[in-house]
Amino acid sequence: MDNFPRSDLPRRALITGASRGIGRATAHALAQAGFDVALLGRSMDRLQPVVNDLAEYGVLAKGYAIELADIPQVQPRMVEIIQDFGAFSVLINNAGMGYTGSLATMPLHHWQQVMDLNLTSIFQCIQAALPSLRAGGGGTIVNISSIAAKSAFPDWGAYSVSKAGLVALSKVLAVEERANGIRVVMVTPGSVNTPLWDTDTVQANFDRSQMLTPEIVAQTILSTVLLPTYAVIEDIVLMPAGGAL
C-alpha cells in the first residue's frame, strides 16, 4: 500500500518560514523523502543557503521572498509563487513570531502585529493555496500551532490567543475541505530550541538544552504528511520529556 496520500499527487511542498528553525529542518526532511520544495521567507539571502544545501537530495528547491507581515500583499504574492512553482500537494504554514508581554499593558499595535503574522497571514496563504490543491485532487495543509494554544502561560497572552485562533481555523478548514480531498493537520509542539528565543519580542530565560529540536518536529511533520489517504492526524501534541518549560 502506498504510504503517500495518493500516488498521483505530486511530491511537492510549500514551506513558510523556511530559512531557519522548524521550517529549515522540515525542508531538509521533506527533500530527503523526495519532495520538491518551495522555500518561503523574508530574505532571499537567508533562503539561498538552504536551497543550496538541498541540492544533495536531488530534488527541485526554489526560494521565494515574501513579507507575511504585510497582509494586503500576502495572497497575491502567494498566487505568484504558486504559479511559478507549479503543482504541489503540501502546504506547511510554519512562519510566525513569538511575543511576551502583559495583556494589561500591551500596546494595541503589538497585539495586531502578533495576530497578523501568526493567524491572518496563514489565513491568506491558505486562501491562495486552496484553488491549486482542489484542482490537483487534494493534499495536506500542516499548521504549526503551539502548546500555548492549550495552556496558559503568564506574559504569553497575545501569542497564546493567536495560536488558539489557528487551532479553530484549522478545525473549521478541515471540515470544509474534507470533501475536496484536503487534510488539515495541526502540529502542536512544546518548547522548541529555535531562533524565536533570540528575537527582540521575546523576553524569556529557559533552559534551551531541554527543549525539542527543530529536527524532531520536522520528522513529526513528515510522518503526518506521509500517512495514507484514509488517515489523518488532526492534532499531534509533541512535548519535551521534561514537560512545558
Rounded CA-CA distance 43/234 in Å is 31
Helix, strand and coil content of the chain, in percent to the nearest 5, comes to 45, 15, 35
Q: What sign results for the dihedral spanned by CA atoms 56, 62, 65, 68?
A: negative
Quick check: is 64 catalytic? no
In the chain, the N- to C-terminal Cα span, in Å, equals 40
CB 3 within 8 A of CB 226: yes
| Burial of 166 per CB tally in 10 Å (0-12, 13-18, 19+) | buried
Which member of 64, 99, 159, 230 is catalytic? 159
Using the 8-state DSSP alphabet, how is residue 40 labeled? E
Residue numbers annotated as active site: 159
